[in-house]
Amino acid sequence: MCALSHLQTAIKATPQDDDRSELLDMLGNLLVDEYKKTRTIKDLDGAIKSFRDAVESTPMEHRDRPRRLSNLGVWLSERSSLTSNSKDLEEAIIRSQQAVDTTPLQSCLRAQVLSNLGIRLSERYRQAGHQDGLNEAIRHLRDATSTCAPPSKDVDRAGLYTNLGLLLYHKYNTTQEMDHLDQAVDSCQKAVDATPAGAKVRAKVLTHLGIMLGARHNRTKVPRDLEDAISHSLQAVKEKSDHPDTEACLNNLALHLGARYGKTRNLGILEETIRYHEKAMEETSQDHLDYAIWANNLGMRLAEMYERTQSGEDLHIAIQYIGIACDRFPKDSPDRSGILNNLGAQYLVKYHKTGQEQDFESAVSNLTEAVTMKAGLPIERIMAARSLGAAMMDKSRWLEALETYNIAFQVLQTLHLRALPRTDQQWILSNLSGLSSNAASCILQVKRPASEALQFLEASRCVITGFAIHSRTDATELRARDQDLCDKYESCRDAISRWGRRYQDAIPHGLDRMNSQDSASLPEKLEELGDIEKRIRRIPGLQRFQLPLSSREMMDLAKRGPIITLNIYIKTG
């Protein structure tokens, strides 16, 4: 603090010249150091003010102006992440762009300012979800990686390739195009190659590469990708000394080993997987969110152990760990819907083993919460509805089952199937007819009109055929009538579909989650979509937009010939 005081005194005594701008820059850096220690917004505010004053005091042609502009952008972005102030992020992007525009093409600084601009743009993509922003961020980072060749000690090549790899990975999650995933793997491999052995960040870089190789294995099923993912993750664990993300490295290694167990069914591999999950929990403070994530993952591995051993103790401990995860996860976190789904599913397993109604009601309670959680991941809500609806039908609780299926179809209607990951597309398409068939059976059981049952079956048929053959849809009709409104509708559905991704039975960790679930924005997007659909249905001829045929419309079709529909329901209870 003494140094800060002396520097502030010197600034007051220095006229508006190069020395003053340099002193202001030094003051900003000292305040940043204080902020890193205290994490108080006051120190960050002071640093930003000093950096801004330094920029304003620096002549337009001064060689340090680009660096100071870029630095100001970095800390404005930091404050935006803390306060959710979009104005700070927009200014950060403007300052970063100014830094790029004023940096000579041959300057050794150019790679860094391009990288900073790319990162700022990626942060805007994370907030707003605009694909153009992600593409622009990738372009700037590509420019940065090409600008920094040949290798220079002044440029963090590993950091550049890591950031580019992460952006390409998130683009893959949006497009599901293998080329983007291949490029992400290639960039992260270059990051590993550029990271010296023993560097503190090496474990994290290896972890990133392992996650992406694991994702590629999930798509291609090439054994080499899984084995490389395990190898890199194991190396990350071995290099974990003084590394702040040790537990994340352990967790990700366990996830890859879990995938190997899924292929081999080797009990020894499952036991090894469980040990690494346990180590991840041991390395994590119990009040940290990661502790809840690791508990969920360990619980699901123990549930797999129960499948092998049929030991009630394994199932009991599995439920215990998943329950810990559920209790400690934020109530409004979209990821919590998946944990509720896991917990409900394991209680159903326990109920089928014990026959105790208490276990059944525990399953119903957790699955119901997952289904009705508006901030929940859409695919998890639909999956939970499938399990809950079937359980209700087995108990002849038809109205409750029907209500559950109604919610599932409402959630499905908010998604753009082609924007979902391939695994989620496959799950929905393979289970959709079963959902609609069960819903139709419930309607008939409670003596509701058969036309209502047909509406469910027709809704399912339209989704499947529309996806399979790109047939003409209501959205096609809307685009012909009002292109701007159609663009808003499709953009909103695409944004909601970004939350469509399911984490299977475990939640991976270790990536800087640019698609991390924002607990506020999903409900807001759903509300926005509802408002847009109301506007659309006020357009003449589009009153039934994205709704199944009404009973009158089906009767009109029947005038051309009888409509015969067979519906089969298999009662399992």
Confirm whether 179 is domain-assigned: no
DSSP of 185-253, one letter per residue? HHHHHHHHHTSPTT-TTHHHHHHHHHHHHHHHHHHH--HHHHHHHHHHHHHHHHT-TT-TTHHHHHHHH
Kindly report the backbone phi and psi dihedral angles of residue 286, in degrees, each rounded to the nearest multiple of 5, phi listed first.
Answer: -70, -20
| Dihedral angle computed from the Cα positions of residues 534, 440, 469 and 563, in that order, rounded to the nearest 10 degrees | -100
Rounded Cα distance between 16 and 6, Å, is 18
201 in Cβ contact with 195 (< 8 Å):
yes
Q: Which two tokens stand for residue 230?
A: 């395990």
Position 527 scores a pLDDT of: 83
191-228 tens-digit pLDDT? 999 998 888 889 889 999 999 999 999 889 999 999 99
Rounded Cα distance between 252 and 233, Å, is 7
Identify the residue with better confidence: 565 or 231.
231
Confirm whether 143 is domain-assigned: no
Q: Where do we find the tokens 């800390």?
A: 75
Confirm whether 140 is domain-assigned: no
Position 573 scores a pLDDT of: 47
123-137, 396-410, 427-441, 469-483: least confident range: 469-483
Confirm whether 1 is domain-assigned: no
Position 455 scores a pLDDT of: 83
Kindly report the backbone phi and psi dihedral angles of residue 405, in degrees, each rounded to the nearest multiple of 5, phi listed first.
Answer: -65, -35
> Which residues does 552 contact at the CB level (< 8 Å), separation at least 6?
none
Identify the residue with better confidence: 484 or 173.
484
HEC secondary structure over 491-545 = HHHHHHHCCCCCCCCCCCCCCCCCCCCCCCHHHHHHHHHHHHHHHHCCCCCCCCC
Instruction: State which of 55-69, 292-306, 450-464 shows the largest mean pLDDT.
Output: 292-306
The 10 Å Cβ neighbour count of residue 95 is 25
HEC secondary structure over 416-443 = CHHHCCHHHHHHHHHHHHHHHHHHHHHH
HEC secondary structure over 88-112 = HHHHHHHHHHHHHHCCCCCCCCHHH
Count how many domains the chain has. 1
115-124, 139-148, 509-518, 533-542: least confident range: 509-518
7-11, 20-24, 164-168, 403-407: least confident range: 7-11
Position 473 scores a pLDDT of: 65
Position 294 scores a pLDDT of: 94
Identify the residue with better confidence: 292 or 433.
292
Q: Where do we find the tokens 């599913």?
A: 345
pLDDT at 572 over 60: no
421-460 tens-digit pLDDT? 777 777 787 888 788 899 999 999 999 988 888 888 877 8
Confirm whether 435 is domain-assigned: yes
Confirm whether 336 is domain-assigned: yes
115-127 tens-digit pLDDT? 999 989 988 877 7
pLDDT at 344 over 50: yes
Average pLDDT rounded to a whole number, residues 173-187: 91
CA angle 488-382-345, nearest 5°? 155
The CATH code of the domain that includes 376 is: 1.25.40.10
* Local confidence band at 168 (pLDDT 50, 70, 90 cut-offs): very high
Mean pLDDT of the residues in the chain: 85
Rounded Cα distance between 135 and 113, Å, is 17
Per the structure, the complete domain to which residue 364 belongs is given by 330-417+424-510+520-573
Average pLDDT rounded to a whole number, residues 549-571: 69
Burial 169-194 (b: 16+ CB within 10 A, else e): bbbbbbebeeebbebbbbbbbbbbeb
322 in Cβ contact with 343 (< 8 Å):
yes
Average pLDDT rounded to a whole number, residues 37-58: 90
Confirm whether 565 is domain-assigned: yes
Position 280 scores a pLDDT of: 94
pLDDT at 386 over 50: yes
Rounded Cα distance between 175 and 182, Å, is 13
Identify the residue with better confidence: 524 or 443.
443
Position 274 scores a pLDDT of: 97
Confirm whether 294 is domain-assigned: no
